[in-house]
């Protein structure tokens, strides 16, 4: 006698996997601006808050833009396996706290990471289902204008960031989607559509 239980023929839709989306792009292209604009209208979008050894810029607050840590604390985060990915960028270290990302995905909440190219590559390695979005400037001249115009970095740091930008721009084809940041409103709308 068969003990098999018929489950009927109507297909059960698979549980929808919440999405992990990575937003990368050269420093000064407008990542933070676009994400802030999108979250003003859609505060339900969860953005991971990274740890960094960089000093806060005027107006940046602990736990909002970043968790600001010193080198020793960052070493401990790495040693304890608490970072999903991390990278050194233009003289400072940045990393994504692992547990908060996993908790939100588990709870069915789409997750957005705003991280650099090296971090995006690590996420692709460890989470193949992640969606990688590249934010590109309308032109190199406009990128330089934005990074300089922001007025938050010294000329030396701007130079280091532009060096990194050349490498990041050359890696655009590694990403699933490119959005060109001509209009903050348009890109924020496009990014929101990708997250859903």
CB 88 within 8 A of CB 115: no
Q: Would the annotation count 28 as a binding residue?
A: yes
- Does 150 contact ligand ADP by CB under 6 A? yes
Interface residue with ligand 5GP among 35, 46, 69, 85 (CB under 6 A) is: 85
Q: Between residue 104 and residue 163, which ones bind ligand 5GP under the rule CB under 6 A?
A: 114-116, 118-119
CA distance 120 to 24: 7
Tokens 């705003």 correspond to 114
Question: Cβ closer to ligand ADP: 18 or 67?
Answer: 67
Which residue's C-beta sits nearest to ligand 5GP? 119
CA 28-33-38 angle, to 5 degrees, is 145
Q: Between residue 156 and residue 185, which ones bind ligand ADP under the rule CB under 6 A?
A: 181, 183-184
Question: What's the gap between Cα 107 and its chain centre?
Answer: 19
- The first and second tokens of residue 34, run together, are 């676009």
CA distance 100 to 105: 9
> Binding site, residues?
25-32
The residues of the shown chain that bind ligand ADP, judged by CB under 6 A, are 25, 27-33, 146, 149-150, 181, 183-184
């Amino acid at each position: 006698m068969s003990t098999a239980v018929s489950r009927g023929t109507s297909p059960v839709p698979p549980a929808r996997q919440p999405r992990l989306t990575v937003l990368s792009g050269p420093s000064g292209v407008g990542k933070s601006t676009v994400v802030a604009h999108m979250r003003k209208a859609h505060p339900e979008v969860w953005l991971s808050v990274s740890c960094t050894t960089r000093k806060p810029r005027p107006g940046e607050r602990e736990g909002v833009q970043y968790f600001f840590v010193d080198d020793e604390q960052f070493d401990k985060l790495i040693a304890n396996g608490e970072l999903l990915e991390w990278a050194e960028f233009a003289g400072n270290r940045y990393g994504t706290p692992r547990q908060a990302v996993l908790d939100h995905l588990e709870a069915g909440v789409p997750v957005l990471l705003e991280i650099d190219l090296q971090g995006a590559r690590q996420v692709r390695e460890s989470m193949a289902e992640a969606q990688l979005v590249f934010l590109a400037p309308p032109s190199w001249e406009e990128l330089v204008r934005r990074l300089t115009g922001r007025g938050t970095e010294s000329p030396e740091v701007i130079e280091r960031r532009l060096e990194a930008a050349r490498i990041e721009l050359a890696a655009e084809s590694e990403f699933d989607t490119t959005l060109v940041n001509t209009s903050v409103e348009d890109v924020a709308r496009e990014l929101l559509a990708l997250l859903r």
